[in-house]
Structure 1
Amino acid sequence: MENLAAGALTGPLLMLLSFVGLGWIAARGLRIDPQPIATLLVYLIAPLTFFRALMNGGPTPDYLLLTLILFIASSAIALLVRAITQRYFGAQESALLAFSAGTGNTGYFGLPVALIILPAEGITLYLFCILGITLYEFTVGFYVSARGHFSVRQSLNKIARLPLVYAFLAALLMTQLGITLPAALMTSLDVFPATYTLLGMMIIGMTLSHVTLAAWDSRLIGACVALRYGVWPLATLGIVLALQQWFNIPAPLAMAILLLGVVPMAANVVVVAMELGIQPQKGALAVLVTTLMAPLLIPVYLGVMFTLSGLG
């Protein structure tokens, strides 16, 4: 529990904010257009990042069950939020809320925090948990986002073109068949995780560089904060308590799942919103607000949740 001190999170937060700042400088000073970078992340860097992780991780049925559980949980939350918010928000705002409700910054922000508070065996478990959330982002999440801007057929066509789905299936097939890639090729893929983190956070800064006061939407941002720091902590705590009741899961797994519930909004909210043209400026502001709240809330939330789940 000593690793949950706010000071221990200073490094990850400063790293995150420095990347956001670099994005802001790049857009304002160098006139760099973030749209091609968002496309590059969605269609190239993200698929290769997770393909590499799967090929290195050697997925087992137990690990893949974690992926499935988190995929189902993320999808269920997003679809429920979509059904509710479309009554009270416009089509694009509802789509943005639905997408963001099912995911969080489990990679760019959550992984550095996981390295601080989780034991070694918990890191692998955490990676397969966030894989389920990432698959949600680029399947169900992408669909509910696109439905705020495109028809059903157009939305499904966009999903069919997403290479991350095929990268996931290819990695599973290759590991099941015992196919290994040459060491030199796997080594060459090592650059992608860091690139994924750097460009993913810079996208927020690039988008914020074009934000005006007119983009501030208190109702939308308030809903995003409530979903991220209200619904998700309760959802992950419920998952842990249920799994403890049925399977007597190890403490590192429980800690990994609980961490998923307290990270800020996903930077991919901005990436996907930009790719689909659905309120990226509003999304960037909401991501920034929840990120700034994270170092204050994470120690408190995890302390309470660990105690309630018997880990404290």
Structure 2
Amino acid sequence: MTVLDPATLMGPLWTLLAYIALGWLAARRLAIDPRPIATLLIYLVAPLTFFRGLVQGGPTPDYLLLTLAAFLVSSLLALAVHRLTRHRFPPQESALLAFSAGTGNTGYFGLPVAMVLLPPEGVTLYLFCVLGITLYEFTVGFYLSARGQFSVADSLTKIVRLPLVYAFLAALVVSGLELTVPEAAMQGLAVFPATYTLLGMMIIGMTLGRVSLREIDGRFMAACVAVRSVMWPLLALGSVLALQSLVPLSREMAMALLLLGVVPMAANVVVVAMELGIAPAKGALAVLATTLAAPLLIPLYLTLMMRLAGL
């Protein structure tokens, strides 16, 4: 059985924290407004990153089934949390909590860990699950977040304007028709994943640079941590055990699912909150807390879950 050494996580962790620190310095010393950067990420950088990843992955029906399953699970989980919290938290906080419930830091943080733990086939399985979660973020998740501030009609209008959905459809058309994207274009798109990570984490720091102590909301943070650090690990483990009892489940697939359940909160919680103006400071604090706890929790969780799943 593979045991994850906490040192494995220190490289990704320190890189992400360095990006957060750069964002904090930019906000404190240069007075940079993170709102335009959030808009840039949502409407330009994320769609191009998503398109490149899907085209490079060579989607097959089996892989796309994983994407669909991850999308549905994320959406149902977010809807359930929204229903449970909408009468217990103010509208904006409930919307942000629901959005965060359906996603996690599967890309910026989870992918480097997946590349250490999994063989190439396992990484591919993991990536197509991540694509489904990303698709949730910019459709159902974005809608739930918008509903904390806007009407149903306005929220749906914002969804229609999001280019990531069209990037997803364009990638499917390119792959389905076996079209070839020029090599020069793919090389040009290669800069976007790193840009997405850098700017996404810097926005957290920029938001924290404007946070005062009175904005710390222990109740909201506890709810976010409970969803990410309790509900998701239980869901991932339950899914693996259920699938093992129904069909032959490869070790790579099981590990990919378990890893999805133990990553910290998604940086996109802050990106979307910033774009929609729904409590970005509270979201940034919760994301930072779960990211700092990740080197301790992920090895503990994965080791225990692997043992329970017989891996």
> Normalising by structure 1, what TM-score?
0.98
**In structure 2, what is the equivalent of residue 55 of structure 1?**
55
The letter for the 1-side match of 2:124 is T
Cα displacement (A) at 1:144: 0.6
Q: Deviations over 1:137-192 (max 9, x none)?
A: 00000011100100000000000000000000110011101111111111111000
Contact residue 233 and residue 262 of structure 1 kept, 8 A:
yes
Question: Separation in 2 of the partners of 1:231 and 1:263?
Answer: 12
For structure 2, the 5+ residue unaligned runs are: none
**In structure 1, what is the equivalent of residue 128 of structure 2?**
128
The letter for the 2-side match of 1:259 is L
**In structure 2, what is the equivalent of residue 18 of structure 1?**
18
Q: Deviations over 1:218-265 (max 9, x none)?
A: 000000000000100011112212222222121111101100100110
Q: Deviations over 1:182-212 (max 9, x none)?
A: 1111111100010011111101000000000
The letter for the 1-side match of 2:275 is E
Contact residue 103 and residue 266 of structure 1 kept, 8 A:
yes
**In structure 2, what is the equivalent of residue 243 of structure 1?**
243
2:251 matches 1:279? no
Question: Separation in 2 of the partners of 1:3 and 1:206?
Answer: 36
Question: Separation in 2 of the partners of 1:298 and 1:53?
Answer: 25
- List aligned pairs for 1:202-213, cutoff 5 A: 202-213=202-213
Question: Separation in 1 of the partners of 2:31 and 2:206?
Answer: 9
Larger mean CA deviation between 50-59 and 240-249 belongs to 240-249
Contact residue 3 and residue 117 of structure 1 kept, 8 A:
no
Contact residue 207 and residue 281 of structure 1 kept, 8 A:
yes
User: Helix, strand or coil: the match of 2:136?
Assistant: helix
**In structure 1, what is the equivalent of residue 261 of structure 2?**
261
Question: Separation in 1 of the partners of 2:124 and 2:219?
Answer: 37
**In structure 1, what is the equivalent of residue 306 of structure 2?**
306
Question: Separation in 2 of the partners of 1:80 and 1:36?
Answer: 31
Question: Separation in 2 of the partners of 1:70 and 1:55?
Answer: 19
Q: Deviations over 1:256-284 (max 9, x none)?
A: 11001001100000000000000000000
Contact residue 95 and residue 144 of structure 2 kept, 8 A:
yes
Contact residue 3 and residue 303 of structure 2 kept, 8 A:
no
**In structure 1, what is the equivalent of residue 216 of structure 2?**
216
Cα displacement (A) at 1:26: 1.1
User: Helix, strand or coil: the match of 2:138?
Assistant: helix
Question: Separation in 1 of the partners of 2:238 and 2:110?
Answer: 20
User: Helix, strand or coil: the match of 2:25?
Assistant: helix
Contact residue 273 and residue 279 of structure 2 kept, 8 A:
yes
Q: Deviations over 1:73-100 (max 9, x none)?
A: 1011100000010111000010010000
User: Helix, strand or coil: the match of 2:262?
Assistant: coil
User: Helix, strand or coil: the match of 1:261?
Assistant: helix
Contact residue 104 and residue 263 of structure 1 kept, 8 A:
yes
The total of aligned residue pairs comes to: 311
Question: Separation in 1 of the partners of 2:50 and 2:165?
Answer: 10
**In structure 2, what is the equivalent of residue 163 of structure 1?**
163
The letter for the 2-side match of 1:303 is T
The letter for the 1-side match of 2:261 is G
Cα displacement (A) at 1:35: 0.5
**In structure 2, what is the equivalent of residue 41 of structure 1?**
41
**In structure 1, what is the equivalent of residue 182 of structure 2?**
182
Cα displacement (A) at 1:289: 0.5
Alignment RMSD: 0.9
Give percent identity, aligned residues only. Answer: 68
Question: Separation in 2 of the partners of 1:168 and 1:156?
Answer: 18
**In structure 1, what is the equivalent of residue 228 of structure 2?**
228
Question: Separation in 2 of the partners of 1:309 and 1:35?
Answer: 43
Runs of 4+ in structure 1 deviating by more than 6 angstroms, as ranges, are none
- List aligned pairs for 1:55-134, cutoff 5 A: 55-134=55-134
User: Helix, strand or coil: the match of 2:113?
Assistant: helix
**In structure 2, what is the equivalent of residue 140 of structure 1?**
140
2:290 matches 1:290? yes
Cα displacement (A) at 1:2: 5.1
Question: Separation in 2 of the partners of 1:287 and 1:103?
Answer: 12
Question: Separation in 1 of the partners of 2:196 and 2:38?
Answer: 11
Question: Separation in 1 of the partners of 2:247 and 2:26?
Answer: 49
